[in-house]
Amino acid sequence: MWQQRYESSDAGSGVRLFFPEVRAAHRTLAKLELTNIRAQIFTGHGGLRKYLFRFKLSTVQTCTCDDASIESITHILVECPRYSAKRFECESRIGRSIEPQSLKELINDDSCRAHFLAFAESAMRQTAKANGAKNV
DSSP states along 73-102:
HHIIIII-GGGHHHHHHHHHHHTS---GGG
35: in domain: yes
Q: 135 in a domain, yes or no?
A: no
What pLDDT shows up at residue 6?
43
> In the prediction, which pLDDT does 5 show?
53
- pTM value is 0.88
Give the single-character DSSP code of 60. -
In a domain, residue 29? The reply is yes
Direct distance between the N- and C-terminal alpha carbons of the chain, in angstroms, rounded to an integer: 37
Q: What domain range is 50 assigned to?
A: 2-130
Name the domain count of the chain. Answer: 1
The reported pLDDT for the residue numbered 12 is 47
In a domain, 136, yes or no: no
The answer to whether residue 82 is domain-embedded is yes
Distance between CA atoms of residues 91 and 112, nearest Å: 9
Q: Tell me if 55 is assigned to some domain.
A: yes
* pLDDT score of 104: 93
pLDDT given at position 8:
47
pLDDT for the residue 16? 73
pLDDT of residue 13: 55
Q: Which residues of the chain have pLDDT under 70?
A: 1-14
For the chain, helix (H) and strand (E) counts, in that order, are 9, 0
pLDDT given at position 103: 95
